[in-house]
Amino acid sequence: MPQKTQNNLPTHKIKKATKAQIAEIKSLFLQHYANAKTELHYNNLYELLVCVMLSAQCTDKRVNIVTPAFFTRFPNIATLANAPLEEIKELIKSISFFNNKATNLKKMATQVLQEYGGEIPTTQEALKSLAGVGQKTANVVLIEFFEANFMAVDTHVFRTSHRLGLSDATTALQTESELTKAFKDHLCVLHQAFVLFGRYICKAQKPLCQECFVQHLCKSTQNFKPR
């Protein structure tokens, strides 16, 4: 068994998928997850952005438990921007890193009011200018709400793409670049497909290999994690 580095990547690279294998993987994922969508519950762009910000290093299930009361209290950008920070914290206290997330949510809402006239921006760069919104969060929002041709890499996408030899990059952003280059189109569906695949089949621990539709293309069952 190969030695692992601190970021759980092997000291020697997993064999990369060939062009033919990449094409087969893409085709199979589009077949199995033709209508893949996020499992976060939301009704508009504001709610989606908040949900995605809350979901970082937290389960969608937990976010969906918290957000109904949150959106009842803060139904829009203005109410969130003007909310007492402690009240925001209280409503999301069961979410991981709730202190930082509460601070970023309030800052984000204030920025949207002051810099964008209360309208959430809809480009990657503008979204990334908001507090607490990195490239992954921006891409997920654009993928889900606008079906934009972006790839976003969370732990599920990182792990499964490395197991299939689609990437040997050590960071999420590098992996995003490799997947975008490999797949080129249908990225919005493929992103969510890989999330669902990693969440329910290609699990970090005890992957369900007997239920896997791409088992014949798998390079490793190691639990890859981004640096």
What pLDDT sits at residue 216? Answer: 97
Question: How large is the average pLDDT for residues 210-216?
Answer: 97
pLDDT of 10 > 90? The answer is no
DSSP letter string, 20-46: HHHHHHHHHHHHHTTT---S---SSHH
Residue 154 annotated as catalytic:
yes
What pLDDT sits at residue 227? Answer: 85
CA pair distance 180, 198, nearest whole angstrom:
18
Question: Which is catalytic among the residues 26, 101, 106, 154?
Answer: 154
CB distance 176 to 170 below 8 Å = no
Beta strands in the chain (DSSP E): none
List domains and CATH numbers for the chain.
19-37+150-217 (1.10.1670.10), 45-146 (1.10.340.30)
Q: What's at 52, amino acid-wise? A: V
Question: How large is the average pLDDT for residues 182-200?
Answer: 97
What pLDDT sits at residue 58? Answer: 95
pLDDT of 47 > 90? The answer is yes
Read off the pLDDT of residues 50-83 as tens digits, 9 standing for 90 and up.
Answer: 999 999 999 999 999 999 999 999 999 999 999 9
Read off the pLDDT of residues 119-130 as tens digits, 9 standing for 90 and up.
Answer: 999 999 999 999
pTM for the predicted model, two decimal places? 0.92
The values of phi and psi at residue 200, to 5°, are -115, -20
pLDDT of 5 > 60? The answer is no
The values of phi and psi at residue 122, to 5°, are -125, 25
State the CB neighbour count (10 A cutoff) for residue 50.
25
Residue 168 annotated as catalytic:
no
Question: Which is catalytic among the residues 4, 136, 168, 184?
Answer: 136
Contacts of 181 (CB under 8 A, 6+ apart): none
CA pair distance 36, 195, nearest whole angstrom:
9
Read off the pLDDT of residues 157-179 as tens digits, 9 standing for 90 and up.
Answer: 999 999 999 999 999 999 999 99
3-state secondary structure of 12: coil
CB distance 187 to 150 below 8 Å = yes
